[in-house]
Structures are given as structure tokens and as C-alpha cells.
Amino acid sequence: MTTKARANGEGSIYPHRNGFAAYAWVQTPAGARKRKYVYGKTRDEVHGKWLSLHQAAKAGPVATTVPRLDAFLASWLAEVIKPNRAPLTYVNYELFVRRYIVPGIGERRLDRLQVRDVQQWINTLPTLCQCCEQGKDERREEKARRCCARGLCCHDVPSARTISDIRACLRSALSHAVRSELVTRNVAQFVTLPSVRKKKRKAWTTDEVRIFLESARSARDAMFAAYVLAVVLGLRKGEILGLTWSDLDLDGGELTVGRQLQRASGELLHRETKTEASDDTLPLPEVVITALRHRQEVQRADRAKVGRAWQDTVGLVFTTKSGLPIEPRNFNRSWDNRCARSEVRKITIHDARRSCATLLVDLDVHPRVIMRILRHAQFSVTMEIYSQASSAATKAALHKLGDSLGG
């Protein structure tokens, strides 16, 4: 009498190498009907996988061939992100994939990636010095080496914010894998991240803004009008540098925000703004109109001076003396230099946008109006600024409270 090698209903489970294998007929995402195999060391292990496979096949299409994570990310960046997202989004995602995700878990097969794998990898990121990992100090000339290559680790570890951005990149990629029916769930969304404490951003007082602008005006700083746009209208750096004369109606006192200047992948791009909410038409206060008219005169003088050597750049408001676009990094340097010369607290150009918001708060401007001026996509962003009144306003409020209690 022969023993039954397989239990009832397990006709597709069979011995294979050092264990067992099984298959089930599935429909692939492409619509073809194929066999999908599972493997394991014991019959019970394979039986469990086989049952799960049958359930997956009943629920919908199942991929029979699944790439490794590194190969999938390469195609995702090239076919999904690069043609459909902003250039800087692609630059950042490509950086996260190349420097962090692929070296850490890139060899894992996509459908075998577990929450535990991603969590363990995320946990290691705050301990990895990127100078050591990427050989930054090692690439310097020997006499210029100052830290990791000399055995003095500089502990250049990713910040909690960077780790959050890296996870967001992986989560976006795995969401596409779920939609492509390569995997059934996005394991990155179940990972616990280090807590991120938001930095308290700096903002100028009214006096500091006045001193800064007066310093730039007195020195005939070529970027004076740009500084005015930053602190009076709260325009972003890219929006200022991407502004064209056709966006301005100086006689009518209006400015239309619709383009920005960005450097991405080695190119200087004149493209649409950050979000649809960023596009708007704003009224121009007299101080802004005066600054822009002066800028117009300066540019005309520059153009007349160089003559035929002038580089026509779609009518940009802010250009070099030969008509070329202003490099964003050079604008940063001009701003920092003016901060030093005017002897005010050094803040970033984006902090000037926050300064505009806090000054409007001090003037008791309604938060909905501030949201319109700064063109925030979400009211919560405006309220976060609105809730951080300046120290002068806070002091006045507390004095008012104290007077009422004392009375």
C-alpha cells in the first residue's frame, strides 16, 4: 500500500530541491494567465504561502515577476517622476534613492520587502555619517583632508527632517508599486520616524526692515527692488528672479505672479510656480512701484552700455549687467552681504517672507488677507505664522492683560 504524498487539494505542492514548492494560476497585470510559484523549507510553510497566493489571485491581478527595489526605483524615477513632476522634485528624489535607499535596502526584492526591513534601515540612518559613507573627505586632496579620512569622524548624519523626506520618497515609490499591482501594500507607511522638532524661524522687526532697505537704497544696490519685493510682498526667491516686465503693470499698480527661476540638474529653468495657489495678481504699494521704476532705469542704462552684447532673457526684471538671469546662489550672496553691511540680524531670503507675514500680524491684518498676500495653499500655514506674533506685540498684549488685572 502506497502512502499519499500530498494532502487533498494540494496537487500543486511538490518536493523541490531542499524543500517544497507550489504554484497557482493567476492573472497578471498585463491580462495574461500564468503560473505563480512559491517556495519554502517545509510543506506547512509552502501550504500557507499557497493559500495566500490563491486568495491574492481571487482578489485581483498578481505579478509573476517582481523586480528588486533598486531596479524598480530606477524605472520609477525615469518613467514616472522625471516626466511628471517638478525638476527639483526629481533632483531630490534621485538624490535620496542614490545616496540612501539603494545602498541600504536596494537589493531586496520588491514583494519581499517587509515593514521590519524598512524600520531597521530607517533606524540606522541617524547613525551613518554621510561624510564616511560617501567618502566626502576622502575625495579631497590629502593636504586638505580634515575629518573622516584622518580618522576624526565629523558625524555628518542626516537630520530628522531629511530622514522624513527619504521615507516620503520611498513611500511615494511603493504607492506606485501598489497601483501597478506589483505589491499588495505599501510597507513604508507603517514605519515609525524620529520626531522632527520644527526650527523657530527668524523674522525682522519693522525697524530692522527699514534699516536694511535704507542701506540698500543709499548704496544703490542693484538688487534693491528685489529686496523690497521680498519683505513688502513676501515673494519667494524663485518668484522674484523669474519676474518679467510683462508680469508688471506699474501704471495700474499690479503684479502677476506666475513664473519662477530655478536651477535643477545643472540647468537654469524659467518655469511655473510652486503650486496653483502661488499664482495670483497682487496690488503694488507705492514703495514697490518706486523701487521697480528705479530698477527699470538701471536695466536700461546697463543695456545701453553693453549695446549689442546684451543677452535678451525673456524680459526678466532682474538680470546681470549683460542681461543674463541672476543665479539663485548669487542672489543669496547679495542678500547676505547686504545684511552684513546694514548691520541687521542675518536672516535668509525665505525668512524675509516670514518677516512680511509677522509685520502684517503686528498691523492687525486679518489672517485671511495675509493668506491671500503670501498665496499660501493651506490656511494652517498662515495661522502658524499668525500665532507667532512678534515679541513687541506679545509684550504689549501682556502689559494690557496686566493692566486689566491690576485695575
DSSP for 13-30? EEEETTEEEEEEEEE-TT
Range of the domain at 302: 206-398
Q: In this structure, how many other beta carbons lie within 10 angstroms of the beta carbon of residue 111?
A: 14
* 47 assigned to some structural domain: yes
Judged by phi (left if over 0) then psi (alpha if -120 to 50, else beta), residue 231 lies in alpha
Sheet containing strand 33-40, edge to edge, reads: 13-16, 19-27, 33-40
Distance between CA atoms of residues 54 and 46, nearest Å: 12
How many domains are there within the chain? 3
Whether residues 246 and 351 fall in one domain: yes
Distance between CA atoms of residues 374 and 277, nearest Å: 10
Whether residues 262 and 327 fall in one domain: yes
Whether residues 340 and 310 fall in one domain: yes
Distance between CA atoms of residues 125 and 170, nearest Å: 14
Whether residues 51 and 83 fall in one domain: no
Give me the pLDDT at residue 2, please: 44
Distance between CA atoms of residues 133 and 117, nearest Å: 20
Sheet containing strand 248-249, edge to edge, reads: 248-249, 254-257, 280-283
Each residue's pLDDT tens digit in the chain (407 positions)?
A: 444 444 544 457 888 888 898 888 888 777 788 888 888 889 998 898 888 888 888 887 777 677 899 999 999 999 999 999 888 899 999 999 999 999 999 999 998 899 999 999 999 999 989 888 888 888 888 888 888 888 888 888 898 889 999 999 999 999 999 888 788 889 999 999 988 766 667 788 888 989 999 999 999 999 999 999 998 888 889 999 999 999 998 989 888 888 888 888 778 887 777 666 566 788 888 888 999 999 999 999 999 998 888 887 788 999 999 989 999 999 999 999 999 999 999 999 888 888 888 788 777 777 777 777 777 767 766 676 655 555 566 666 666 666 666 64
* 406 assigned to some structural domain: no
Report, in angstroms and rounded to the nearest whole number, the Rg of the chain calculated over CA atoms. 29
Whether residues 160 and 102 fall in one domain: yes
Residues in the chain: 407
Whether residues 228 and 372 fall in one domain: yes
For residue 162 the three cell numbers come to 531629511
Give me the pLDDT at residue 215, please: 94
Angle at 367 between CA 399 and CA 205, to 5 degrees: 55
Distance between CA atoms of residues 314 and 246, nearest Å: 9
Please tell me the pTM assigned to this model: 0.70
Alpha helices (H) along 77-114: 82-84, 87-96, 102-105
Distance between CA atoms of residues 386 and 380, nearest Å: 9
Whether residues 33 and 83 fall in one domain: no
Identify the CATH number of the domain in which residue 329 sits: 1.10.443.10
Whether residues 184 and 255 fall in one domain: no
For 223, the 3-state DSSP assignment is coil
For residue 213 the three cell numbers come to 532697505
* 199 assigned to some structural domain: no
Distance between CA atoms of residues 61 and 42, nearest Å: 27
**CB proximity list for 158: less than 8 A, separation 6 or greater:** 100, 125, 126, 128, 130, 166
* 1 assigned to some structural domain: no
Whether residues 236 and 145 fall in one domain: no
* 105 assigned to some structural domain: yes
Whether residues 172 and 96 fall in one domain: yes
For residue 180 the three cell numbers come to 501597478
Q: Distance of CA 185 to CAs 27, 53, 75, 154, 176, Å?
A: 18, 15, 19, 38, 10
* 39 assigned to some structural domain: yes
Whether residues 29 and 176 fall in one domain: no
Distance between CA atoms of residues 62 and 33, nearest Å: 10
* 86 assigned to some structural domain: yes
Whether residues 262 and 325 fall in one domain: yes
Identify the CATH number of the domain in which residue 112 sits: 1.10.150.130
For residue 248 the three cell numbers come to 508688471
Task: Using the Cα atoms of residue 310, residue 313, residue 317 and residue 318 in order, give the sign of their dihedral.
Answer: negative
* 294 assigned to some structural domain: yes
Q: In this structure, how many other beta carbons lie within 10 angstroms of the beta carbon of residue 214?
A: 11
